Every structure is written in structure tokens, then in C-alpha cells.
Amino acid sequence: MSARPWILQETTWSEVENQTYDVAILPWGATEPHNYHLPFGTDTYESSTMADRSAGRAWSLGARPIVLPTVPWGVNTGQTDLKLCLNIFPTTQLVLLGDLVDNLARHNIRKLVILNSHGGNQFQPLIRELSVKHPGVFVCALDWWKACDLKAFFVEPGDHAGEWETSVMLNTHPDLVLPLDKAGNGAAKRFAVKGLREGWVWSQRQWTSVTTSTGVGNPQFATAEKGAAFLEATTAKVAEFLVELAAAELDRLYSD
């Protein structure tokens, strides 16, 4: 048996053929700049790491999740003018998800968790459509960094390539993180219109009008130790959800 039987890419037909899986996990990232010190693949590395760790913990607790290959492209419609920031449209996501759900249904896997690492990926409208077109498969989206309170772990968490995200990468992929003196300070402009600035009106941000470094949030307080603590707490919570979802009966998802 492979060392990580919950990672589809690492398993063989001899393992998969007779194994029953109760939930599929689809890590979803993006390919975009993350200030001057983090790699373009930061979101993809994060979603892959969280999927691996949480699925491994759920597996040890008796659940049988299977982690699908990570999707490395996200919705970056506000960043198309940034060199090699690779955008796909929500309609493309819907087509890809529809094909994957069709595959899962064919193999009697009726639960799919989209484990998302990129703020530009908004899956709610897509899940609404999939629920009508593929009613036999339960699909949900999990923004994993929201599972625990960032402020309990970080001084200034930041929004993009700031303290929390840099701390995570320092813990998981330190060889890909440049020295923090190479990073911009993450200063960012806000909307001038009050409703947009307060957040009760939404529009996408035009990234090059918001930040010169592509980062939003100061990474200078980031440490690998903070990343480890945050990941441990988050992994435990996500794994608990996976175990509970794996055991849930789809016709009994609601209770009094």
C-alpha cells in the first residue's frame, strides 16, 4: 500500500480497485503573484497541503476520503494585467466541476468537498447549478483558512501574502520563500466609495490599483512556528468535518 493511500495520484489500481471511498476532496488553488517573496503557486501548495493533512487525519480516524489532483488555476479576473497571472472564468470552473461530478457519480462517490485556497474562487453559484444538474452528488466548498480565527494566531493576518499566508509557507515550503526583507510591506488602498469600503456592497478589486507589490497585508511578523500552530488547529477542524461528512447519510443532512 502507498504511504498516503488517500492521495489518488500516488495510489495504484491494485489499491483503488476494491477500496470504497466515502468522500472526494478536490483541492483548488490559483496561479498568481504573492508579493515579492512568495511563489506564484502559493494557493495551490496550500490547498494541496491542507487536503493531504486533513484527509490523512480523517483516514486515521476511520473515514476513507480520496484526494483528487489539485486544480492550479483560479478566477483572477481582477488581475489579468499582472504578467503570468493565469485566469480562468467561473464558467470554465463549472464545466470542469460538472465533468468531475459526473465521474464521481459513475463510481458511486456521492460527496465532494472543494477545498479552496483562493479568495477569487466563489463556488456558491456553481454548486447551486450542480445541485440541479447532478442531484445525486452532494457538493460543498470549504475555504480552509476560515476554519479557525486568524486573529488568534497572527498579529496582522493580512489578506494576500501577508502574515498568515507567509507563516504557512514558511512552515510547509520554506525553500520557496524568499527572505522577508525582499517582501513589500503589503500596503493596500481601499475603495473610496463608502458602501464598498465597509463591505456591504461588493465588487471585485482591480489589483494593480490596490497594491504595488501584489500583496495585501504586512508579512514581517510571519514565522514558521505561527504557521505550524495555525495549520495544526485548522487540520484538526477540517478533518473532523470530513469524518462527520463521510458518516452522514445524504437523505438525513438536516435535523431539528
Tens of pLDDT along 2-30?
Answer: 899 999 999 999 999 999 999 999 999 99
Q: Answer whether residue 1 shows pLDDT above 90.
A: no
pLDDT in tens, 176-234: 999 999 999 999 999 999 999 999 999 999 999 999 999 999 999 999 999 999 999 99
Whole-number percent of the chain with pLDDT over 90: 98
- Report the pLDDT averaged over residues 144-165: 97
Secondary structure letter of residue 135 according to DSSP: T
Q: What CA–CA distance (Å, rounded) separates 13 from 144?
A: 30
Question: Residues near 82 by Cβ (< 8 Å), separated by ≥ 6?
Answer: 32, 33, 76, 207, 208, 214
116 falls in which pLDDT band (50, 70, 90)? very high
- What are 68-88's pLDDT values in tens digits? 999 999 999 999 999 999 999
- Mean pLDDT, rounded, of the chain: 97
Amino acid identity at 111: K
Q: What confidence score (pLDDT) does residue 256 get?
A: 83
| CA–CA distance, 160 with 177 (Å, rounded to integer) | 15
Q: How large is the angle between the packed helices 224-247 and 163-172, nearest 10 degrees?
A: 90
For residue 145 the three cell numbers come to 483558512
Helices (H), the chain: 13-16, 42-60, 90-106, 124-133, 163-172, 194-198, 207-210, 224-247
Report the pLDDT value the prediction gives residue 158, as an integer from 0 to 100: 96
User: What was the pLDDT predicted at 196?
Assistant: 96
Domain architecture of the chain: domains with CATH = 8-252 (3.40.50.10310)
The residues facing 71 across adjacent strands are: 28
Task: Give percent of the chain with pLDDT exceeding 70.
Answer: 100
